[in-house]
Protein backbone atom coordinates (compact mmCIF):
# COMPACT_ATOMS: atom_id res chain seq x y z
CA UNK A 1 0.00 0.00 0.00
CA UNK A 2 1.55 3.28 -1.13
CA UNK A 3 2.99 5.36 1.68
CA UNK A 4 2.02 2.86 4.37
CA UNK A 5 4.83 1.16 6.32
CA UNK A 6 4.79 -2.62 6.03
CA UNK A 7 4.38 -2.91 9.80
CA UNK A 8 1.03 -1.16 9.47
CA UNK A 9 -0.32 -3.32 6.65
CA UNK A 10 -3.22 -5.74 6.98
CA UNK A 11 -0.97 -8.69 6.21
CA UNK A 12 1.41 -7.75 9.02
CA UNK A 13 -1.42 -8.38 11.47
CA UNK A 14 -1.51 -12.11 10.69
CA UNK A 15 -0.24 -14.27 13.55
CA UNK A 16 1.12 -13.38 16.99
CA UNK A 17 -2.28 -14.23 18.47
CA UNK A 18 -2.63 -14.38 22.26
CA UNK A 19 -2.57 -17.46 24.45
CA UNK A 20 -5.45 -17.22 26.94
CA UNK A 21 -6.06 -19.06 30.23
CA UNK A 22 -9.66 -20.20 30.80
CA UNK A 23 -10.49 -20.36 34.51
CA UNK A 24 -14.08 -21.58 35.01
CA UNK A 25 -14.31 -24.45 32.53
CA UNK A 26 -11.02 -25.76 33.93
CA UNK A 27 -12.24 -25.77 37.54
CA UNK A 28 -11.46 -29.02 39.34
CA UNK A 29 -8.32 -29.84 37.41
CA UNK A 30 -5.12 -30.50 39.37
CA UNK A 31 -3.09 -27.34 39.97
CA UNK A 32 -0.23 -28.93 38.04
CA UNK A 33 -2.35 -29.29 34.87
CA UNK A 34 -2.82 -26.15 32.79
CA UNK A 35 -5.12 -25.75 29.78
CA UNK A 36 -4.44 -22.76 27.51
CA UNK A 37 -6.31 -21.48 24.46
CA UNK A 38 -4.59 -20.19 21.33
CA UNK A 39 -6.98 -17.39 20.33
CA UNK A 40 -6.86 -17.47 16.55
CA UNK A 41 -9.86 -15.20 15.99
CA UNK A 42 -7.46 -12.28 16.60
CA UNK A 43 -6.24 -12.69 13.01
CA UNK A 44 -7.48 -10.00 10.56
CA UNK A 45 -10.34 -11.97 8.98
CA UNK A 46 -11.22 -13.66 12.25
CA UNK A 47 -9.71 -17.13 11.96
CA UNK A 48 -6.57 -19.24 11.92
CA UNK A 49 -7.02 -19.70 8.17
CA UNK A 50 -5.43 -16.30 7.55
CA UNK A 51 -2.05 -17.96 8.12
CA UNK A 52 -2.25 -20.56 5.31
CA UNK A 53 -4.38 -18.36 3.04
CA UNK A 54 -1.75 -15.63 3.04
CA UNK A 55 1.13 -18.08 2.67
CA UNK A 56 -0.53 -19.84 -0.28
CA UNK A 57 -1.32 -16.52 -1.95
CA UNK A 58 2.19 -15.12 -1.50
CA UNK A 59 3.88 -18.25 -2.81
CA UNK A 60 1.61 -18.43 -5.84
CA UNK A 61 2.42 -14.82 -6.71
CA UNK A 62 6.15 -15.27 -6.11
CA UNK A 63 6.32 -18.38 -8.30
CA UNK A 64 4.18 -16.88 -11.06
CA UNK A 65 1.58 -19.65 -10.72
CA UNK A 66 -0.96 -16.89 -10.10
CA UNK A 67 -0.88 -13.97 -12.53
CA UNK A 68 -3.59 -11.43 -11.63
CA UNK A 69 -2.40 -9.06 -14.39
CA UNK A 70 -3.75 -11.54 -16.95
CA UNK A 71 -7.12 -11.65 -15.21
CA UNK A 72 -6.38 -14.99 -13.58
CA UNK A 73 -8.38 -15.69 -10.43
CA UNK A 74 -7.58 -17.69 -7.31
CA UNK A 75 -9.87 -20.73 -7.06
CA UNK A 76 -10.39 -23.06 -4.12
CA UNK A 77 -12.98 -25.05 -2.19
CA UNK A 78 -13.81 -23.96 1.33
CA UNK A 79 -16.31 -24.44 4.12
CA UNK A 80 -15.91 -20.76 4.91
CA UNK A 81 -12.90 -19.61 6.93
CA UNK A 82 -10.16 -20.30 4.37
CA UNK A 83 -12.31 -18.63 1.74
CA UNK A 84 -12.76 -15.59 3.94
CA UNK A 85 -8.98 -15.42 4.33
CA UNK A 86 -8.48 -15.64 0.57
CA UNK A 87 -11.20 -13.04 -0.05
CA UNK A 88 -9.74 -10.66 2.55
CA UNK A 89 -6.22 -10.65 1.14
CA UNK A 90 -7.45 -10.93 -2.43
CA UNK A 91 -9.52 -7.77 -1.96
CA UNK A 92 -6.54 -5.98 -0.38
CA UNK A 93 -4.34 -6.91 -3.35
CA UNK A 94 -6.94 -6.54 -6.11
CA UNK A 95 -6.99 -10.27 -6.92
CA UNK A 96 -10.20 -12.01 -8.00
CA UNK A 97 -11.29 -14.96 -5.85
CA UNK A 98 -13.68 -17.77 -6.82
CA UNK A 99 -14.79 -20.23 -4.15
CA UNK A 100 -16.80 -23.45 -4.20
CA UNK A 101 -18.71 -23.75 -0.94
CA UNK A 102 -21.10 -26.40 0.46
CA UNK A 103 -24.66 -25.16 0.26
CA UNK A 104 -25.15 -25.70 3.99
CA UNK A 105 -22.40 -23.27 4.99
CA UNK A 106 -23.72 -20.78 7.52
CA UNK A 107 -25.45 -17.74 6.00
CA UNK A 108 -23.07 -15.50 7.94
CA UNK A 109 -20.07 -17.01 6.13
CA UNK A 110 -21.72 -16.67 2.75
CA UNK A 111 -22.64 -13.05 3.46
CA UNK A 112 -19.07 -12.23 4.51
CA UNK A 113 -17.61 -13.87 1.39
CA UNK A 114 -19.93 -11.90 -0.87
CA UNK A 115 -19.31 -8.66 1.05
CA UNK A 116 -15.58 -9.12 0.36
CA UNK A 117 -16.29 -9.49 -3.36
CA UNK A 118 -15.64 -13.22 -3.77
CA UNK A 119 -17.48 -15.21 -6.41
CA UNK A 120 -19.31 -17.98 -4.52
CA UNK A 121 -20.40 -21.22 -6.19
CA UNK A 122 -22.63 -23.33 -3.96
CA UNK A 123 -22.39 -27.13 -4.11
CA UNK A 124 -24.64 -29.96 -2.91
CA UNK A 125 -24.92 -29.68 0.90
CA UNK A 126 -25.32 -33.47 1.17
CA UNK A 127 -21.80 -33.87 -0.25
CA UNK A 128 -20.36 -31.51 2.38
CA UNK A 129 -16.79 -30.29 1.80
CA UNK A 130 -16.06 -33.20 -0.56
CA UNK A 131 -18.62 -31.88 -3.05
CA UNK A 132 -16.98 -28.45 -2.98
CA UNK A 133 -13.57 -30.06 -3.56
CA UNK A 134 -14.84 -31.99 -6.57
CA UNK A 135 -16.43 -28.89 -8.09
CA UNK A 136 -13.22 -26.87 -7.66
CA UNK A 137 -11.26 -29.66 -9.33
CA UNK A 138 -13.71 -29.68 -12.23
CA UNK A 139 -13.49 -25.93 -12.76
CA UNK A 140 -9.68 -25.99 -12.59
CA UNK A 141 -9.50 -28.78 -15.15
CA UNK A 142 -11.96 -27.15 -17.54
CA UNK A 143 -10.54 -23.61 -17.30
CA UNK A 144 -6.79 -23.87 -16.57
CA UNK A 145 -6.05 -20.38 -17.89
CA UNK A 146 -8.81 -18.70 -15.92
CA UNK A 147 -7.93 -20.05 -12.50
CA UNK A 148 -5.01 -20.69 -10.21
CA UNK A 149 -6.26 -23.64 -8.18
CA UNK A 150 -4.90 -23.05 -4.67
CA UNK A 151 -5.94 -26.55 -3.52
CA UNK A 152 -5.62 -25.96 0.22
CA UNK A 153 -6.05 -29.66 1.02
CA UNK A 154 -2.97 -30.70 -0.97
CA UNK A 155 -0.86 -27.54 -0.92
CA UNK A 156 2.22 -27.81 1.35
CA UNK A 157 2.16 -24.04 1.84
CA UNK A 158 -0.85 -24.75 4.07
CA UNK A 159 0.96 -26.68 6.80
CA UNK A 160 4.21 -24.76 6.27
CA UNK A 161 2.47 -21.57 7.41
CA UNK A 162 1.86 -23.16 10.81
CA UNK A 163 5.36 -24.65 10.92
CA UNK A 164 6.82 -21.17 10.46
CA UNK A 165 4.47 -19.17 12.69
CA UNK A 166 1.97 -21.00 14.91
CA UNK A 167 4.45 -23.46 16.43
CA UNK A 168 7.19 -20.99 17.44
CA UNK A 169 4.57 -18.64 18.87
CA UNK A 170 3.14 -21.37 21.11
CA UNK A 171 6.57 -22.61 22.15
CA UNK A 172 7.65 -19.08 23.12
CA UNK A 173 4.35 -18.17 24.81
CA UNK A 174 4.49 -21.27 27.04
CA UNK A 175 8.18 -20.66 27.77
CA UNK A 176 8.88 -24.06 26.19
CA UNK A 177 6.64 -25.76 28.79
CA UNK A 178 3.95 -27.09 26.41
CA UNK A 179 3.41 -30.85 26.80
CA UNK A 180 0.33 -31.40 24.58
CA UNK A 181 -1.08 -29.71 21.46
CA UNK A 182 -4.79 -30.23 20.74
CA UNK A 183 -6.04 -29.28 17.26
CA UNK A 184 -8.97 -30.22 15.04
CA UNK A 185 -8.58 -31.92 11.68
CA UNK A 186 -10.00 -30.17 8.63
CA UNK A 187 -7.33 -29.76 6.01
CA UNK A 188 -5.07 -31.04 8.83
CA UNK A 189 -2.62 -28.19 8.18
CA UNK A 190 -2.74 -26.78 11.72
CA UNK A 191 -1.87 -30.05 13.44
CA UNK A 192 0.73 -31.07 10.86
CA UNK A 193 2.64 -27.83 10.58
CA UNK A 194 2.46 -26.84 14.23
CA UNK A 195 3.05 -30.39 15.39
CA UNK A 196 6.05 -31.07 13.18
CA UNK A 197 7.86 -27.97 14.37
CA UNK A 198 6.97 -28.52 18.03
CA UNK A 199 8.30 -32.09 17.81
CA UNK A 200 11.57 -30.71 16.46
CA UNK A 201 11.76 -28.28 19.36
CA UNK A 202 10.86 -30.97 21.91
CA UNK A 203 10.28 -34.56 20.82
CA UNK A 204 8.33 -35.24 24.02
CA UNK A 205 5.42 -32.97 23.08
CA UNK A 206 2.33 -35.06 22.34
CA UNK A 207 0.00 -34.18 19.46
CA UNK A 208 -3.73 -34.73 19.85
CA UNK A 209 -5.89 -34.80 16.70
CA UNK A 210 -9.59 -33.99 17.09
CA UNK A 211 -12.30 -34.95 14.61
CA UNK A 212 -16.08 -35.50 14.61
CA UNK A 213 -17.37 -38.82 15.90
CA UNK A 214 -19.56 -39.49 12.84
CA UNK A 215 -19.65 -38.82 9.07
CA UNK A 216 -22.72 -36.59 9.41
CA UNK A 217 -22.03 -33.92 11.98
CA UNK A 218 -22.46 -30.23 12.73
CA UNK A 219 -18.82 -29.31 13.23
CA UNK A 220 -18.26 -27.02 10.28
CA UNK A 221 -14.64 -27.01 9.15
CA UNK A 222 -13.76 -30.41 10.62
CA UNK A 223 -13.53 -33.72 8.72
CA UNK A 224 -14.44 -37.25 9.71
CA UNK A 225 -11.30 -38.63 8.09
CA UNK A 226 -12.46 -42.24 7.82
CA UNK A 227 -15.24 -41.31 5.40
CA UNK A 228 -14.02 -38.07 3.78
CA UNK A 229 -11.65 -37.32 0.92
CA UNK A 230 -8.34 -37.29 2.78
CA UNK A 231 -6.23 -34.17 2.24
CA UNK A 232 -3.05 -34.80 0.30
CA UNK A 233 -1.04 -33.14 3.07
CA UNK A 234 -2.53 -35.36 5.79
CA UNK A 235 -0.14 -37.66 7.64
CA UNK A 236 -2.15 -39.93 9.92
CA UNK A 237 1.02 -41.23 11.60
CA UNK A 238 1.93 -37.86 13.13
CA UNK A 239 -0.64 -37.62 15.93
CA UNK A 240 0.17 -39.35 19.20
CA UNK A 241 -3.51 -39.51 20.11
CA UNK A 242 -6.66 -39.41 17.98
CA UNK A 243 -9.90 -38.40 19.69
CA UNK A 244 -13.45 -37.88 18.51
CA UNK A 245 -15.96 -35.33 19.77
CA UNK A 246 -19.71 -35.39 19.28
CA UNK A 247 -21.52 -32.42 17.80
CA UNK A 248 -23.53 -32.11 21.02
CA UNK A 249 -20.42 -32.00 23.23
CA UNK A 250 -18.80 -29.38 21.00
CA UNK A 251 -21.94 -27.23 21.03
CA UNK A 252 -22.22 -27.48 24.81
CA UNK A 253 -18.58 -26.44 25.28
CA UNK A 254 -18.95 -23.57 22.80
CA UNK A 255 -21.82 -22.24 24.92
CA UNK A 256 -19.83 -22.70 28.13
CA UNK A 257 -16.84 -20.82 26.73
CA UNK A 258 -19.09 -17.90 25.78
CA UNK A 259 -21.09 -17.76 29.00
CA UNK A 260 -18.45 -18.74 31.55
CA UNK A 261 -15.26 -17.34 30.00
CA UNK A 262 -16.43 -14.59 27.66
CA UNK A 263 -14.75 -16.46 24.80
CA UNK A 264 -17.16 -16.15 21.87
CA UNK A 265 -15.81 -18.90 19.63
CA UNK A 266 -16.93 -21.23 16.86
CA UNK A 267 -17.95 -24.86 17.15
CA UNK A 268 -14.60 -26.32 16.09
CA UNK A 269 -13.07 -24.34 18.96
CA UNK A 270 -15.65 -25.90 21.27
CA UNK A 271 -14.62 -29.33 19.99
CA UNK A 272 -10.93 -28.63 20.63
CA UNK A 273 -11.55 -27.36 24.14
CA UNK A 274 -13.84 -30.29 24.94
CA UNK A 275 -11.07 -32.70 23.88
CA UNK A 276 -8.45 -30.72 25.80
CA UNK A 277 -10.43 -30.88 29.04
CA UNK A 278 -11.08 -34.61 28.66
CA UNK A 279 -7.34 -35.09 28.21
CA UNK A 280 -6.55 -32.84 31.18
CA UNK A 281 -8.65 -35.02 33.47
CA UNK A 282 -6.38 -37.98 32.71
CA UNK A 283 -3.14 -36.14 33.61
CA UNK A 284 -1.39 -35.38 36.87
CA UNK A 285 0.71 -32.62 35.30
CA UNK A 286 1.13 -30.89 31.97
CA UNK A 287 0.57 -27.80 29.85
CA UNK A 288 -2.08 -28.35 27.19
CA UNK A 289 -2.57 -25.85 24.36
CA UNK A 290 -5.87 -26.08 22.50
CA UNK A 291 -6.09 -24.27 19.17
CA UNK A 292 -9.35 -22.30 18.97
CA UNK A 293 -9.68 -21.52 15.25
CA UNK A 294 -12.29 -18.78 15.05
CA UNK A 295 -14.93 -16.58 16.67
CA UNK A 296 -18.63 -17.37 16.98
CA UNK A 297 -20.03 -14.66 14.71
CA UNK A 298 -20.23 -16.97 11.71
CA UNK A 299 -22.37 -19.49 13.61
CA UNK A 300 -25.07 -17.25 15.08
CA UNK A 301 -27.78 -18.75 12.87
CA UNK A 302 -27.16 -22.18 14.48
CA UNK A 303 -29.96 -23.11 16.87
CA UNK A 304 -27.75 -24.36 19.69
CA UNK A 305 -27.15 -20.79 20.94
CA UNK A 306 -30.74 -20.77 22.17
Residues of the chain by 3-state class (helix, strand, coil), percent to 5 = 45, 20, 40
Q: Does residue 268 carry a catalytic annotation?
A: yes
Determine contact, residues 220/299, Cβ cutoff 8 Å. Answer: yes
Is there a contact between 51 and 77 (Cβ–Cβ < 8 Å)?
no
User: Catalytic residue among 49, 77, 79, 223, which?
Assistant: 49
Catalytic annotation present for 49: yes
CA distance 11 to 221: 23
- 223, 268, 274, 298: the active-site residue: 268
In whole angstroms, give the CA distance from residue 127 to residue 214: 14
Strand ranges, E, within the chain:
19-20, 33-39, 73-77, 97-102, 119-123, 147-149, 180-184, 206-212, 241-245, 286-292
Would you put residue 29 in left (φ > 0), alpha (ψ -120 to 50) or beta?
Answer: beta
For residues 166 and 51, the answer to whether their CB atoms sit within 8 Å is: yes
Active site positions, annotated: 49, 268
Amino acid sequence: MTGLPEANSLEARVGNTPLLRPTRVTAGLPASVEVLAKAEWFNPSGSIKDRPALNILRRALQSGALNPASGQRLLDSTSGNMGIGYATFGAARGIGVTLTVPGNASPERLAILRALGAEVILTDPLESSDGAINEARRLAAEHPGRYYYANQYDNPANWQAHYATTAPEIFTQTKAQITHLVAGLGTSGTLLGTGRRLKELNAGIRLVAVQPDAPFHGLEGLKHMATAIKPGIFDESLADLNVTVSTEAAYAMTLRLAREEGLFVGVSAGAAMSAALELARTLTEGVIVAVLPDAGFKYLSDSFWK
